[in-house]
């Protein structure tokens, strides 16, 4: 079974530029998560989708971050414009069904973003 | 604020030693998970504990969930260099909806 795929693996941009990350979850998984992991910290949930609906986006900086999950499969996370403090690893994860809080989350390898 | 505090932050030990890392909170959790993350990779789930007082064993790893469901520990017996990595605890607090929160992790380095 293929795991969670993310691209690109690395991205370097200048502040105020835009960037987009892509995630392809495990086939059939209903729940998709985007996390931000700053160096030395644990992952912080940015947004959680159940199929193509948003379950939680309380920690998403909505003035600059946006995410969508069209057709309840792939997802993209966009930052526009980027700030220095956005430098982090962006992790995508998926889990099978509706009881997400008790299910195993499967993580992708992450996209490492450096904002200069 | 529902925080998971992990200790120690960093641990460097010799191969064959035993160690325990801790995950503590003032909040009650419906479940706690332990993940291991290697450089350049995403976290991988090791175990989920659900019942207060529960103990689970995974080869040389022993996980315990506190009776009050506010804390957990991970004990590694006879550590090996392959155990090196970032150990993260994560949980879903009863009052946090379905959001999973992560601790900052314990970075373990096992020297051969």
Q: What is the mean pLDDT of residues B11-35?
A: 94
Question: What's the distance, Cα to Cα, between the start and end of chain A in Å?
Answer: 37
Residue with tokens 């993580």: A107
| Residue A104 pLDDT level (bands cut at 50, 70, 90) | confident
CATH number at residue A39: 2.60.40.10
Q: What is the model's pLDDT at position B93?
A: 80
Give dist(CA B94, CA A50) in Å, integer: 19
CB contact under 8 A, B31 and A101: yes
Nearest to B41 among A42, A104, A109 (CB): A109
Residue span of the structural domain in which A70 resides: 5-97
Nearest to B104 among A41, A58, A107 (CB): A41
Q: Which domains does chain B have, with CATH numbers?
A: 5-111 (2.60.40.10)
Chain A residues within an 8 Å CB radius of B88 = 42-43
Q: What is the model's pLDDT at position B98?
A: 66
| Average pLDDT, rounded, for chain A | 92
Q: What is the model's pLDDT at position B97?
A: 65
Percent of chain A with pLDDT over 90: 80
Tell me: the pLDDT tens digits for B41-82? 999 999 999 899 999 999 999 999 999 999 999 999 999 999
- To the nearest whole Å, the CA of B98 is away from the closest chain A CA by 5
What is the number of structural domains in chain A?
Answer: 1
Give a yes or no: residue A60 inside a domain: yes
Q: What is the DSSP string of B62-83?
A: EEEE-TTSSEEEEEESS--GGG
């Amino acid at each position: 079974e293929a795991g969670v795929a993310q691209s690109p693996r690395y991205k370097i941009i200048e502040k105020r530029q835009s960037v987009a990350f892509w995630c392809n979850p495990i086939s059939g998984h209903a729940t998709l998560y985007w996390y931000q992991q700053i160096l030395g910290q644990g992952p912080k949930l940015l947004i959680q989708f159940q199929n193509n609906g948003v379950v939680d986006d309380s920690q998403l900086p909505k003035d600059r971050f946006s995410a969508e999950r069209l057709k309840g499969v792939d997802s993209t996370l966009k930052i526009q414009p980027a700030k220095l403090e956005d430098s982090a690893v962006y992790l995508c994860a998926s889990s099978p069904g509706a009881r997400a809080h008790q299910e195993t989350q499967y993580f992708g390898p992450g996209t490492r973003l450096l904002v200069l | 604020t529902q925080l998971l505090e992990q200790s120690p932050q960093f641990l460097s030990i010799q191969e064959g030693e035993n160690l325990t890392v801790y995950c503590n909170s003032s909040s009650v959790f419906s479940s706690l998970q332990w993940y291991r993350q290697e450089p350049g990779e995403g976290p991988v789930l090791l175990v989920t504990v659900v019942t207060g007082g529960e103990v689970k064993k995974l080869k040389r790893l022993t996980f315990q969930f506190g009776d009050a469901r506010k804390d957990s520990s991970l004990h590694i017996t006879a550590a090996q260099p392959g155990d090196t990595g970032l150990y993260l605890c994560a949980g879903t607090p009863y009052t946090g909806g379905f959001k999973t929160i992560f601790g900052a992790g314990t970075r373990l380095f096992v020297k051969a």
